[in-house]
Structure 1
Amino acid sequence: MWANYQASKGFEIVIINDVKDAKSGKKFHLLFVSNDKITQIVLSTSKIAETVLYPDDRKQKKPVTSVTIRLTNQTMAHQQVVVDTQGTYEYVLHISSSLMEEKNVEKAVVLAVQRGMTRVWLWNGEGGTPDELIDGIVEFVNVVGGHVGIPDYRLKRLPVVDNMCWKYGDHMDMAHFLRYCETMKNGFIERLNQAMESSWHDSMVDDALGMPAWQLCGSYYSL
């Protein structure tokens, strides 16, 4: 276990390599731990997530006291990162050791940590926010951070159910729509995140937009 306290960020960073004797674990140590690169990745991705979710420094942020990066060979249902809490505002990012087999290992690790750090900073309505919306916001941050792009063919793929086009669809489709909402209503993502601090109800999307969401669904599909 390796730990480093980042006073400037206010949270402790802990690195745990569960597969240190395996090929993937040795590669992780060589490329990311021995040179402190993983710490810098945590800090840089945290900054991106904070900038997107909390652009106004006057707004109170979600408290974060500790972030643990844990390289694991546990099966994670095709996910490359899973975020758990181990205490009050202490978070563990379980990173799949399979990332060490990627052609561009550093890019894969950065993308996984970015997804994890966005979930760390993102409120989720005490677990009530729809998973599709959370996943979409996570990918929206990846897009803003320049980690991924969104192919044009995804522009009109979100299904509309009960006048809502933000509640269903995959994460990339959702990210595209959320980017459109942010463009049309600046500060939408920040307002939505703040609203999700302690509860969730579907009207929060309307409130954060300042208009019924179905109206933007309509204009989005007319692009």
Structure 2
Amino acid sequence: MKPLHVATVVASLLALAAAVSPAGAVTFDATNTASNTPGGRRFDQAVGLGYAKRVLSDASTFIWSTFNQRSPAGRKPVDAVTLVVEDIGGVAFTSGNGIHLSARYVGGYSGDVKTEVTGVLYHEATHVWQWNGQGRANGGLIEGIADYVRLKAGYAPGHWVKPGQGDRWDQGYDVTARFLDYCDSLRPGFVAQLNAKMKDGYSDDFFAQILGKGVQQLWQDYKKKYGG
């Protein structure tokens, strides 16, 4: 048997590692510090830490694809994403690369809690990876992009606004997500281009630079299309 060159073996092992680990060198971890509460117990029973870690990995891969970030060089330099289920109010929040999920929200949710938590994690994982215009982008757009990712992943809840609804393009969350989906339909890859521009700063003029129309005109066109 002909001996293999060391470099060939190493290259083959690296290729195999990349194939079985789509999230690359990023690690994902989840803990539940509220297991002694009703919501924490429901999380353990209906969702589970193992499933949550898989969702974080799958969501990250989906986000990189949505943002057209095929190589780690184009992404935020994050090597670990963590989730903590806590006895806190609200739904969830993200600080840096750490996601915090409310056990109280999990405990009080009346629908399919596993699907809901999955959608929340897609939204929050987007906050880990998205660019924020060096802090200059408005919060409505940041939240809208996170909900856009949740929408494209197929986890938009039934109570979200319908296309064309809302008062302002930067109202945030589902309103802005629907508007961004419209913008992306005009130029596929628009959200990826917008996010890329937001690496170094932010201006509403980014919409015109990519789509040839100002954001207010695009909002008017969007409302008109859906009879808003």
Shorter-normalised TM-score: what interval? 0.7 to 0.9
Offset from partner CA, 1:41-96 (integer Å, 9 cap, x none) = 11122222222122655971222211110001122xx3x110002xxxxx110001
**Counterpart residue number, 1:142:** 150
SS of residue paired to 2:155: coil
Q: CA deviation at 1:20?
A: 2.6
The TM-score with structure 1 as length reference comes to: 0.79
**Counterpart residue number, 1:19:** 34
AA at the equivalent of 1:140: Y
**2:102 is equivalent to residue 96 of structure 1:** yes
CA contact (8 A) 1:11 1:65 kept: yes
Q: How does 1:164-179 map to 2 (within 5 A)?
A: 165-167=168-170, 169-179=171-181
CA contact (8 A) 1:150 1:172 kept: no
More helix by share: 2
CA root-mean-square deviation: 2.6
Whole-angstrom distance in 2 between the partners of 1:30 and 1:151: 25
Q: How does 1:183-194 map to 2 (within 5 A)?
A: 183-194=185-196
More strand by share: 1
Cα separation, partners in 2 of 1:37 and 1:151, compared to 1, 3 Å: closer
Cα separation, partners in 2 of 1:8 and 1:52, compared to 1, 3 Å: closer
Unaligned ranges ≥5, structure 2: 1-19
**2:57 is equivalent to residue 43 of structure 1:** yes
The TM-score with structure 2 as length reference comes to: 0.77
SS of residue paired to 2:147: helix
Offset from partner CA, 1:173-197 (integer Å, 9 cap, x none) = 2111111110012221011100111
SS of residue paired to 1:222: helix
**Counterpart residue number, 2:135:** 127
AA at the equivalent of 2:83: I
**2:116 is equivalent to residue 113 of structure 1:** no
Question: Which portions of structure 1, spanning 4 or more consecutive aligned residues, are displaced by more than 3 angstroms?
Answer: 29-34, 55-59, 149-159
Whole-angstrom distance in 2 between the partners of 1:13 and 1:58: 16
Q: How does 1:200-219 map to 2 (within 5 A)?
A: 200-219=202-221
Whole-angstrom distance in 2 between the partners of 1:19 and 1:184: 45
SS of residue paired to 1:134: helix
CA contact (8 A) 2:160 2:174 kept: no
Whole-angstrom distance in 2 between the partners of 1:153 and 1:141: 16
Provide the aligned length of Structure 1 versus Structure 2: 203
CA contact (8 A) 1:16 1:70 kept: yes
Whole-angstrom distance in 2 between the partners of 1:66 and 1:153: 33
CA contact (8 A) 2:141 2:172 kept: no
CA contact (8 A) 1:150 1:176 kept: no
CA contact (8 A) 2:148 2:178 kept: yes
Percent of residue pairs identical: 21
